[in-house]
Amino acid sequence: SCHSTLVLKKIRFYNCAIIYLRNAQLLVKTIDGGVINIPPESICYIEKNTVIDVTLNVLGKGMPYDIFHIDNNI
């Protein structure tokens, strides 16, 4: 098995982003201390200028997620 965890704090998204979780779980910590659980095979939309803490749990082999940045060129 290929399980690992990555914790990132105060990530700023300067543009909107769409994250597709393949074989990973994303835990997003909200400003009020709550946690949003985004399970594998889900899509997550992040608004522009959002600052978040995240925990990414990789649950298997292969690409754990795809991220698409949305800017004025789309």
Q: How confident is the model at residue 3 (pLDDT cuts 50, 70, 90)?
A: confident
Residue 11 φ then ψ, to 5°: -80, 130
pLDDT above 90 for 8: yes
Contact of 11 with 53, CB cutoff 8 Å: yes
Q: Give per-residue pLDDT as tens, 10-60.
A: 999 999 999 999 999 999 998 888 999 999 999 999 999 999 999 999 998
Q: Which domain holds residue 26?
A: 4-70
- What is the 3-state secondary structure of 13-57? ECCEEEEEECCEEEEEECCCCCEEEECCCEEEEECCCEEEEEEEE
d(CA 39, CA 51): 20
The domain that holds 16 is classified in CATH as 2.60.120.810
Measured between alpha carbons, how far apart are the two ends of the chain, in Å? 38
How many domains does the structure of the chain reveal?
A: 1
